[in-house]
Amino acid sequence: MSSSKIRGTRATALSSVKALISGTEQHFPSGPIHFGNATYTATTLSQRLQKLADAMTGLLAAQNAARDAMAAMRAADAEEGPLVQAYRRFLHATFATAAQTLADFGLEPMRVAAPPTTETRVAAVEKARATRKARGTKGRKQRLAIKGNVTGVTVVPVTGPAESEPAAAK
């Protein structure tokens, strides 16, 4: 298609090539056609253009088939994916210690997390302390020990029912 210099979508390119074939058969029914330092007959030119059109049609059909196959695969995966995942979990739980049996199913044994080393634990504790210090976080007992003082506020006790202002305004 790059040699034909047709712009647009593949469907547009295909219709353009088919229009070239139709125009050639209509306006040059017989006799030689001279262009590009070569001479072609209408039949030869139409056959070569038809070869390009057939290739484009095949490409469009293959792309549509691939698109349909991808949609079908995604639908099947959405429907059956949870089943496959659950079955794999079941096999891992059933044959956790039998590596060869898991290999028969195409699975590898689950890796066991290595216990943290002493250096890793020390680094984690130091990091946690540094984070608490940077954030200013305190434990429950430290928070309960904090008491606030209120200054500059005068508390006036209420001793009896006060008259409401709308009643006094009457």
pLDDT tens digits along 85-128: 999 999 999 998 899 999 999 999 988 888 999 998 999 999 98
**Pair 63, 14: CB distance under 8 Å:** no
Q: How far apart are CA 35 and CA 2, in angstroms?
A: 19
Domain positions in the chain are: 10-104
pLDDT tens digits along 127-137: 988 888 888 87
Pick the range with the lowest mean pLDDT from 64-68, 86-90, 120-124, 142-146. Answer: 142-146
Q: How far apart are CA 25 and CA 166, in angstroms?
A: 102
149 pLDDT more than 70:
no
Token pair of 20 as six digits: 């070239």
**Pair 66, 54: CB distance under 8 Å:** no
pLDDT of residue 150: 60
Task: List the alpha helices (DSSP H) in 3-139.
Answer: 10-27, 42-94, 99-104, 118-135
